[in-house]
Structure formats: structure tokens, C-alpha cells
Amino acid sequence: MPANNPLIAALAKVANLFYSELAERTRGPQYPHGSERVKSIPDATSINPPVVSEGSGYVDVVIDLKSAPYARAYEYGRETPYTIVPIKAAALTFPKERWPQYQPPPPAPNIFRFPEVTHHRIEARPYLHLAIQKIASQARKILGDSFRALILSDMRDEVI
């Protein structure tokens, strides 16, 4: 199909619309913002080029779970505990303001250091399904318009 195929343009537009909604939802304070070791959900998300062949098409929007390993847990929740260990240091370091009531108080001034921590639970905070629901009607319109344009561009000026 030609590069100016309206379906390719529409799929790219819908993917970007979805990404924008996903990014807006996951940049709030209830989602991790990324660090030296892991990326935020939007920063770990990429859009592959649209693929169109034989009248159908798709576009992949991919969240790299190696870069943002918590992304799945935030969408669906996680009930089972898991251990977090340091990768580049001997201990995990956290400021005291993250746990003001923790006992005993930290040995260093206002800093906790742990060889590992256990995270017990992640409450589900869906963002994928909600982003899809939010853009669904707009996506249908964009894709419908592209199909109409594609059909009209294939019609000939023949009178039968």
C-alpha cells in the first residue's frame, strides 16, 4: 500500500492519542515517576510503525516491562509480596519523610538504609483500559474517516 495510505495515518494518530492519554493518567502522584534504575510508564512506552496489509491494519503500543517492571502490577494489582534488592549499591536508601512513623528511627540523620525491602501489595490502579475507554469514540471516528477516504480513493469514475 502507498505511504500516503489514510489507514496508516489514522492508526498512527490513534496510537499517539492513546499514548497521550496513557501518559496523562500515569504521570500523577499515584504512579512511580521513574528513577536511575527504572523508567516511568510513559518513558517505557513506545509506538511501533503501523502495519497495513490486505485491507487490515494494526499498530503496537508497547510498554517495556524490563524498563518499568511495575507497570503490569499497577494495571491489575499485585497481592503476593516481592523483594526489592539494590543493584548498584550495598543498600537501598530512603529519606525518613517516606516513613515518618517507622521504628526504630534511622541510624543516620534522616536516612534509612536497608539491604533489601519487601513490598507487600500493590493496589490496582488501571490506566490502560481507562485510556482505551476514554479515546474509543474518537478512535472510531478517526479510523472510520480513514476507511471512507480509502474506499473513495479506490473508486473509479465509471458509470454502470
Q: Give the model confidence (pLDDT) of 16-34 as tens digits.
A: 999 999 999 998 888 888 7
Q: Which domain holds residue 17?
A: 1-79+122-160
Q: What is the pLDDT of residue 117?
A: 86
Q: pTM of the full predicted structure?
A: 0.75
136 shares its domain with 64:
yes
Q: What is the pLDDT of residue 105?
A: 67
138 shares its domain with 75:
yes
Number of domains in the chain: 2
H helix intervals, 85-157: 128-154
Q: What is the pLDDT of residue 1?
A: 47
66 shares its domain with 1:
yes
42 shares its domain with 8:
yes
29 shares its domain with 75:
yes
67 shares its domain with 135:
yes
Counting as low any pLDDT under 70, the low residues of the chain are: 1-3, 55, 105-108, 154-160
**What is the dihedral sign for C-alpha 66, 52, 49, 27?**
negative
Q: Are 78 and 55 in contact (CB under 8 A)?
A: no
